[in-house]
Structure 1
Amino acid sequence: MVERLAAHQLEILGGFHATGESALPPGTRTLLLIGPKEPGFWPHVTSQPEWDGTPDPIDRWSRRVIGRVACDIGAKALFPFGGPPYHPFYQWALRTGRVWDSPVRLLVQATQGLMVSFRGALAIKDVLALPPPAIRPCDSCAKPCLTACPAGALGEAGYDVPACHAWLSAGDRDCMKSGCLVRRACPVSQAYARMPEQSAYHMGQFHK
């Protein structure tokens, strides 16, 4: 399965063993959360047929690719988009031992930091070995994320979305070109090879 995902620049970001939760497909014994694998994700996904100028190319690509992997291994593909209702990816992530609630309330992942994103999940009827738990990086961090937002829109109190939009609308902001400064301030994020072009695309989608 790892090789199947890697062929599409995807990887397993964490998982947990399930015991009949109603939020999961019947018979699910293992849930694996799937996200971009770097380096190389952005050049790969933007070369795919879904990148055709019509809406939601990454979501459409995710449905096709993760859906195909699920069919190949006899699993069920679940996605963080397409609702409401939405699958509880935030809560699922916290169960993996590799993703945590950060000081700014966004999720932080063991290798991707605050750049973590999920393209989907695989609900599997077998009990599979899981990526090992990791140590929460925030526990030994100076927490630069708490003071990185120039608009004061993201801190201990969470995310003030209107304040963020107001800041972005006020002028030529580096956040729009290279991604959220809070996410980029995370030391783990800085070691993760996400391209600025990808962050700029998502910022553009957010601030339409």
Structure 2
Amino acid sequence: MITPAGSVDRIAAALLANGLVLRGGFNFTPSDAPPTGSSGAPAAAVLLVGQAGAAPWPHFLRWWEQQPQAIANPLDTWSREVIGAVAQDFGARAISPSDKPYLPFQQWAMRAEGLKPSPLGILMHPRYGLWHAYRGALLFEDEIPVQVAEAAPHLCDSCAEKACLKSCPVDAYSVQGFAYQSCLAHVGGANGEPCRSGGCLDRNACPYGTGYRYPPEVQAFHMASFARATS
């Protein structure tokens, strides 16, 4: 079980070998109704695993090129394999945001890193902007030494332009939420090429974290995955 503080550092190093990073964590309280750990007992703690920018992409591509056949959700499969191997080495249970029944990953992330959602629903990070993601989590049945996250500066509060709500040609994002059917129809239509090849125009319009922006090929991959998942 993971009790020494140095184990967290070793977990971080193991994940970093594949471009993934620890995204904070916390110890559950009795009121959290935590999910089960590796033995089936309630988990005592969680460490979130994710990415900053597109650091995992070359690791994922090397793995993908070696697969013998088409995989329906290759990035999810790769993430499960990598995080699962780390979980096995450290006595944890690996979970994924796409596992059913769904677990409250966004609420956990807000608690672990002190973040708030942007107008696009993606959590706004003070360094990475909108260019980050959560790929999974590690559940432990012992408490772990983690620092309680303080509220991070929410950059959206000081952003007067809100360019992220003005760039989509079909106004898919608004204060009413995300009109995914309008987005999907546009992406698949005759005028959807900029989005298909370069990613969401609203997301790209955000002025924060641009140094971590995903390259066009990574954005195109995610846009194609979105189109398949919602069609």
**Aligned residues between the structures:** 207
Residues 20 and 49 of structure 2 are in contact (CA less than 8 Å); yes or no, is this contact kept in structure 1? yes
Query: What TM-score does the superposition give when structure 1 sets the normalisation length?
Result: 0.88
User: Within 1, Cα distance between the matches of 2:109 and 2:158?
Assistant: 21
Query: Is 1:117 paired with 2:133?
Result: yes
Is 1:176 the equivalent of 2:193? no
Matched, 1:22 2:33: yes
Match of 2:8 in 1: none
Aligned-pair distance for 1:149?
1.6
Question: CA–CA distance in 1 between the matches of 2:50 and 2:223?
Answer: 18
Shift of 1:42: 1.0
Separation in structure 2 between the aligned mates of residue 29 and residue 127 of structure 1, nearest angstrom: 8
Residue 81 of structure 2 is matched in structure 1 by 64
Which among 115, 120, 123 is matched to residue 107 of structure 1? 123
Distance 1:14 1:196, change over 3 A: farther
Distance 1:155 1:14 in 2: 30
Is residue 105–residue 156 contact of structure 1 (8 Å, CA) maintained in 2?
no
Partner of 2:169: 150
Contact 2:27–2:143 (8 Å) recurs in 1: no
**SS of 1:187 mapped into structure 2:** coil
**Structure 2 residue runs without a partner (length 5+):** 1-10
Separation of aligned partners in 1, 2:206 and 2:78: 28
1:88 paired with 2:97, answer: no
Distance 1:54 1:60, change over 3 A: same
Give the CA RMSD over aligned residues.
2.2
* Identity within the alignment, %: 37
Question: What code does the residue aligned with 1:11 have?
Answer: V
What's the CA shift for 1:168?
Answer: 1.4
Q: Would you say the 8 A contact 1:145–1:155 is kept in 2?
A: no
User: Please, which of 92, 113, 116 is the counterpart of residue 75 of structure 1?
Assistant: 92
Contact 1:19 1:28 in 2 (8 A): no
- Contact 1:100–1:107 (Cα < 8 Å) also in 2: yes
> Residues 19 and 56 of structure 2 are in contact (CA less than 8 Å); yes or no, is this contact kept in structure 1?
yes
Note the C-alpha offset of 1:101: 1.6
Tell me, yes or no, if the aligned pair for 1:30 and 1:126 is still in contact at 8 Å: yes
Query: Unpaired runs of 5+ in structure 1?
Result: none
Larger helix share, 1 or 2: 2
On the 8 A contact 2:53/2:131 being kept in 1, the answer is: no
